[in-house]
C-alpha cells in the first residue's frame, strides 16, 4: 500500500505564505465538505474506522499528528506536520489518528456530506468487507 501525500504549492511573498486548495485541481475530487479537528487531548487516538465510499484529504494546518492507514493487508504510518502536505485517505482504508500536538488543527476535505452509514467502525467487519 502506497502512502499518497499531495504536495501543495506554497504561494506568498515576503509578507508570508499562502496555500490555495481547489477541487479537482490539487485535490483529486470535488469537495463537498470540510471539517477540522482541534483541541485533541494528549494520548487520545481517534478514527478507528474506514469509509465505504468517502474519499478524503487530511492536512495538518497547524501542529502535527500521526496517521495509521490499513488496507486490510498492510499497515503504514505517516506523520503530518506541514500545512503544504495532504494525506489522501481513500475509501476502504482503516485509519487511526494519534500523537496530536496540543496546537494540532487537522483539516479534512471530503468528497461527500456526512453520513454515518458510510462508516465501518468495527475492525472485524472491515476485514470481512475488504477481503471480499
Ligand atoms: C474521518 C477522520 C479523519 C458530524 O456530525 N459531521 C461530520 O462531518 C463529522 C466528520 C463528524 N460528525 C460527528 C460524528 C460524531 O458524533 O462528530 C462526532 C465526532 O466524529 P468521529 O467520532 O467520527 O470523529 P473522528 O475524529 O474519529 O473521525 C473523523 C471523521 O468522522 C472521519 O470521517 O475520516 O476524522
Is the confidence at residue 130, as pLDDT, over 90? yes
The 10s digit of each residue's pLDDT in 44-82 is 999 999 999 999 999 999 999 999 999 999 999 999 999
In this predicted structure, what is the pLDDT of residue 132? 86
Q: Which residues contact 44 (CB under 8 A, 6 or more apart)?
A: 98, 100
Nearest-CA residue for atom 32 of ligand 1: 47
CA 96/CA 68 separation, integer angstroms: 5
CB 94, CB 21: distance < 8 Å: no
Provide the mean pLDDT of the chain.
97
- Expressed in angstroms and rounded, the spacing between residue 11 Cα and the centre of ligand 1 is 30
CB 100, CB 42: distance < 8 Å: yes
Residue 49: active-site member: yes
Is the confidence at residue 113, as pLDDT, over 90? yes
Residue ranges lining ligand 1, Cβ < 6 Å: 33, 35, 37, 46-47, 56, 58, 108, 114
Q: Which three three-digit cell numbers place residue 126?
A: 472491515
CA 98/CA 68 separation, integer angstroms: 8
The 10s digit of each residue's pLDDT in 97-107 is 999 999 999 99
Amino acid at each position: 500500500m502506497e502512502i499518497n501525500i499531495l504536495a501543495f504549492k506554497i504561494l506568498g511573498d515576503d509578507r508570508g505564505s499562502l496555500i490555495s486548495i481547489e477541487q479537482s485541481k490539487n485535490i483529486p475530487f470535488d469537495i463537498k465538505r470540510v471539517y477540522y479537528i482541534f483541541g485533541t487531548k494528549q494520548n487520545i487516538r481517534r478514527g478507528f474506522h474506514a469509509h465505504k465510499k468517502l474519499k478524503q484529504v487530511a492536512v495538518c494546518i497547524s501542529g502535527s499528528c500521526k496517521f495509521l492507514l490499513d488496507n486490510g493487508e498492510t499497515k503504514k504510518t505517516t506523520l503530518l506536520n506541514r500545512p503544504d502536505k495532504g494525506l489522501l485517505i481513500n475509501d476502504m482504508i482503516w485509519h487511526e489518528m494519534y500523537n496530536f500536538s496540543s496546537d494540532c488543527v487537522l483539516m479534512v476535505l471530503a468528497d461527500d456530506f456526512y453520513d454515518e452509514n458510510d462508516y465501518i467502525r468495527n475492525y472485524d467487519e472491515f476485514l470481512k468487507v475488504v477481503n471480499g
